[in-house]
Amino acid sequence: MPLSPLSPSAELAADRTQPYLWTMNFGPQHPAMHTTLRLVLTLDGETVIDAVPDIGYLHSGFEKLAEHLDYNQYVAVTDRMNYVSPLANNVAWHCAVEKLLGIETPRRCQYIRVIVAELSRITDHLLALGAMGLDTGAFTHFIYAYSAREDLYDIFEAICGARLTTSYTRVGGLKLDLSPTALQMIRDFLRRFPRTLEDMARLLHQNRIFVDRTRGIGVLSKEDAINLSCSGPVARASGVTRDLRRDEPYLAYGDFDFDVCCDRRGDCFARYLVRMDEMRESVKIVQQAIENLPAGPVNLGDQARSILPQKTAVYTTIEGLITHFELVMSNRGIKVPCEEVYAATEAPNGELGFYLVGDGGPRAYRARCRPPSFIHFAAFPHLIRGHTVSDVVAVLGSLNIIAAELDR
């Protein structure tokens, strides 16, 4: 006897052997699968009884690689981790390294790191929402989001010379200071961007199709969010008021005035709203940071013994050259304590932390990355049970799974 479409999923899950149930493979190469995710769905008609995610289609050995590259080199690999917001990964990585070393970066560096981290939060949310709109049939929304992203790419290019693979941070500082051009570009962007956000909101907020496809879909309760270790916008949309920027202030976040965006409903629409609001808050933070940008150096002086000297010093002074070689030669390098440390930042997707084990040498003995996408994707079967196949893409879009961060 086929089940009625409205029967609750809990009962269905009990008898999975019924002959009318069928299995559908979704991915790993499917447009809605955000690159390389794969799901094996058990269906009754079009109701999803169970979903078994299968991942690892992009497992490239990031953590093993970290054991073979030094603390400055590995930043280039963190770009490729969550490639939608590479700067946030750069910042997270070097915050962890600096915590292990016990050094504190100059104020200006901290402010600039906040600026780039918040800008990359905007790029990440733009892509997440654009793709979520795309998956639920709103192509125009995606084009709006993407054109704002192109503006941000121009800014990143002005800041560090690359659109996507930024590698901007260094131990104890940054690759480059913010140039006046870049500052002006950021100011212009901040002036234009609220308008874009309004346009995007007008396209989707009241869009009947979008709202119907996301409201009440994939509900995650507060208890489940904590039990499943969720963080970031996914947890905040379920009422967990946890934001590491406020709760464990790192960098200069203590200096800024911003709200933690939360919602109680925990469905896809709530996650969409939280991301929208967070972009507004990010704009606020960047504005404050730009206006109050402290003067001074962006790098710790080389007396700290673990900071790469300025390139001009390397080329013109013997001390600079020696320090440079001391730090980059494979048998020298930064001396870290034989200790272990965990440092987390609030990345666009959630808590992005690194657990670092130093063994005194120039390379990490172990660098574990706590990937938010991995943990959120693990919660996916819980969210989708009892909904229809078409909801799969809406829920996936709202979780914003980035495959490279998921599989590392």
Partner 1 sequence: MAVIAELPDNVAVTKLDELVSWCRKNSLWPMPFATACCGIELMSTGASRHDIARFGAEVFRFSPRQCDLMIVAGRVVMKMMPVLQRIWQQMPEPKWCMAMGACASSGGVFDTYSVVQGIDRFVPVDMYVPGCPPRPEQLIQAIIDLQAKIQREGTLWGREFDAPSRQQPKRALQES
Partner 2 sequence: MSDVSSNTMDALPAEFADLLSSEFRGQRRIVVPADRLIEVLKTLKEKLGYDLLADLTCVDYLTYRDAQHRFGLVYNLANTETNQRLIVRCFLDDPEPTVPSAVPLWAGANWLEREVWDLFGIRFAGHPDLRRVLLPEGFASHPLRKDYPLQGRGERHNLPVITRAEG
Of ligand SF4, partner 1, partner 2, none, which one sits near residue 30, judging by CB under 5 to 8 A according to partner kind?
partner 1
The least distance separating ligand SF4 from the CB of residue 377, rounded to whole angstroms, comes to: 20
- Of 10, 8, 9, 40, nearest to 25 by C-alpha is 40
String of contacts with partner 2 for each residue 235-274, x by CB under 8 A = -----x-x-x--xxxxxx-x--------------------
- Each residue 340-359 as x (binds partner 2 by CB under 8 A) or -, in order, gives xxxxx------x-x-x-x-x
> Which 61-80 residues touch ligand SF4, going by CB under 6 A?
80
Of partner 1, ligand SF4, partner 2, none, which one does residue 250 interact with (CB within 5 to 8 Å by kind)?
A: partner 2
- Residue nearer to ligand SF4 on the CB measure, 78 or 398: 78
95 contacts which partner out of partner 2, partner 1, ligand SF4, none, CB within 5 to 8 A by kind?
partner 2
Which partner, ligand SF4, partner 2, partner 1, none, binds residue 143 by CB below 5 to 8 Å per kind? Answer: partner 1
3-state helix, strand and coil shares in percent for the chain, rounded to the nearest 5: 50, 10, 35
Quick one: what does residue 316 bind among ligand SF4, partner 1, partner 2, none, with the CB cut-off 5 to 8 Å set by partner type? none
Which residue is nearest to ligand SF4, using beta carbons?
80
List of residues contacting partner 1 (CB under 8 A): 28-31, 35-36, 56-61, 64-65, 76-77, 79-80, 83-84, 127, 142-143, 146-147, 149-150, 153, 163-165, 403-404
Of the candidates 238, 235, 78, 267, the residue with the CA atom closest to the CA atom of residue 170:
78
What is the distance between the alpha carbons of residues 68 and 154, in angstroms, rounded to a whole number? Answer: 32
Query: Rounded CA gap, 302 and 293, in Å?
Result: 23
Question: Structure tokens of 7?
Answer: 């029967």
From 74, 54, 58, 37, select the one nearest 368 (Cα to Cα). 74
For residue 156, the partner it binds in ligand SF4, partner 1, partner 2, none, with Cβ less than 5 to 8 A by kind, is none
CA separation for the pair 147, 128 (Å, rounded): 14
Q: Report the candidate in 186, 198, 197 with the shortest Cα–Cα distance to residue 287.
A: 186
Going by C-alpha positions, the residue among 39, 12, 5, 395 that lies closest to residue 217 is 395
105 binds partner 2 (CB under 8 A): yes
**CB count in 10 Å sphere of residue 310:** 17
Q: How far apart are CA 256 and CA 100, in angstroms?
A: 25
CB nearer to ligand SF4: pick between 165 and 310: 165
CB of 119 to ligand SF4, least distance (A): 19
Closest CA to 171 of 115, 98, 253: 98
Q: Which does residue 153 bind out of partner 1, partner 2, ligand SF4, none, counting CB within 5 to 8 angstroms by kind? A: partner 1
d(CA 287, CA 17): 58
Q: How far apart are CA 38 and CA 28, in angstroms?
A: 4
99 part of the interface to partner 2, by CB under 8 A: yes
* Residues at the contact surface with ligand SF4, assessed by CB under 6 A: 80, 165
